Amino acid sequence: MFMNSRTKTFPVRDYDLGATLESGQAFRWKCGEGSWVGVIGTRWVRLRSDEFGITAETAEPVADWDWLRDYLQLDVDISQVIRAFPEDEPMRAAAAACRGLRLLRQEPWECLASFILSSTKQIVQIRQIISLLCERLGEPTAALPEYAPAYTFPSAARLARTTEAELRACKMGFRAPYLLATARQVAAGQFDPAAVGQLPVEIARGELMKLPGVGRKIADCVLLFGYGFQDAFPVDVWVMKALRQLYFPRRRVDLKRLQSFAASHFGPCAGYAQQYLFHYMRTKGKPRKTGLGPSKVKKG
């Protein structure tokens, strides 16, 4: 028996909501005053975190919160994931530096489209492109009155009906024809995002890589963040830097070699290990975004 409500608290430990939402796996979360605001599927949602867990607030009453439990992967035992990491110094350092970092489970189409837009872009720019895309081509969805209008991520069918020029107007540049062609394949039923998740990971990766604008790296991101293949290990420039610096100092190792090293070294939760290394490399030496607003710093 369910009660319709607009808020719900999920008791969960070791969940760094801010790090997770800002770590370059999803691109639509906005950090407010002690909270994060975003759209999951058709629902606007505001999330906040404290020592008791994560509290969600929606604009419309909700009967069943499984969509959020699934998105946030609240049932994952992160300590078990971390125990599956290889026992080496780089992973110890990354796990210590990124305590509470999680993987999300995103809707496959949004994940695929988002990562097609990610190539050679900084995360801040990817967010800007996707924000424009959703404003212009997404469907409006209800948000709390004190917040900006919210939009869903545009469906493949909607994108298939637009033009390359309109996509380029969202500042996605040379990625526009890739996104358009992929959207058309999905809309035409030539590629079924739901079906791919049922395939063995190698086959699924091959299917994804047939799509225009999807190579090995983007395919691995979609496998990991959209389908939950936890052994997928996307190697981008940051992860390449991490692997070279932490595991192969002063040696020249090409991408192929790094990929085969990763495939054998990081175990069944390699995808998590990858995200920890990525976040570790990107944040070390930099101040952390807490979502609690500017903190007073003693000068000295």
The nearer residue to DNA, 144 or 246, going by C-beta atoms, is 246
Q: Which of 12, 214, 258, 262 binds DNA (CB under 7 A)?
A: 214
Pattern 224-243, DNA, x by CB under 7 A: ----------xxxxxx----
Pattern 270-299, DNA, x by CB under 7 A: ----xx--x---x-----------------
Pattern 131-170, DNA, x by CB under 7 A: -------------------------------------x--
Q: Which of 15, 19, 24, 46 binds DNA (CB under 7 A)?
A: 24
- End-to-end, the C-alpha distance of the chain in Å comes to 58
- Region from 2-10, 55-63, 72-80, 215-223 binding DNA, contact rule CB under 7 A: 215-223
Applying CB under 7 A, does 209 fall inside the site for DNA?
Answer: yes
Q: How many residues line the site for DNA (CB under 7 A)?
A: 41
| Spatial distance between the Cα atoms of 92 and 190, rounded to a whole number of angstroms | 44
- In SS3 terms, the chain reads as CCCCEEEEEECCCCCCHHHHHCCCCCCCCEECCCCEEEEECCEEEEEEEECCEEEEEEEEEECCCHHHHHHHCCCCCHHHHHHCCCCCHHHHHHHHHCCCCCCCCCCHHHHHHHHHCCCCCCHHHHHHHHHHHHHHHCCEECCCCCCCCEECCCCHHHHHCCCHHHHHCCCCHHHHHHHHHHHHHHHCCCCCHHHHCCCCHHHHHHHHHCCCCCCHHHHHHHHHHCCCCCCCCCCCHHHHHHHHHHHCCCCCCCHHHHHHHHHHHCHHHHHHHHHHHHHHHHHCCCCCCCCCCCCCCCCC
Instruction: Tell the smallest beta-carbon distance from residue 220 to DNA (Å).
Output: 8
Residues 164-193 that bind DNA (CB under 7 A): 168, 171, 173-174, 178
- Region from 10-18, 51-59, 209-217, 290-298 binding DNA, contact rule CB under 7 A: 209-217
The nearer residue to DNA, 213 or 228, going by C-beta atoms, is 213
Pattern 86-115, DNA, x by CB under 7 A: ------------------------------
Residues that bind DNA (CB under 7 A): 23-25, 118-126, 128, 168, 171, 173-174, 178, 209, 211-219, 221, 234-239, 254, 256, 274-275, 278, 282
